[in-house]
Amino acid sequence: MRKPSQTDSGTEPAAKQIPLKKPLPAGQPRDWYVTHNRRLKAMRLAIALLDSGVYHPATADNRRIRAMADQVGIHPPSDTTCRMVRALIRYGR
């Protein structure tokens, strides 16, 4: 019969059991993946806003962008991502 180890006893705090940052694929630094995923999210939101009739960045405020994210099924974007969405709408014209 095997002896229970420290990990079997459940004495470790939950924070040690769950990694704070999800491991990413090898090859690029973490910031590259964060920026890449932010750009993808901004493009999805910009396309959805353009399809819904929002053609000017002035009419795409953070509230409207976050409401569109909820409709599309995306997590609410940060302020930085909202700025990126407005930039995509502006320069896509």
Per-residue pLDDT for the chain (93 aa), expressed as one digit of tens each? 555 555 555 565 555 666 577 777 788 898 999 999 999 999 999 999 999 999 999 999 999 999 999 999 999 999 999 999 999 999 876
CB atoms within 10 A of CB 90: 13
pTM, to two decimals: 0.72
pLDDT score at 24? 73
Burial of 63 (0-12, 13-18, 19+ CB in 10 A): exposed
pLDDT score at 64? 97
pLDDT score at 31? 92
CA 1 to centroid of chain Cα atoms: 47
- CA 78-68-90 angle, 5° bins: 70
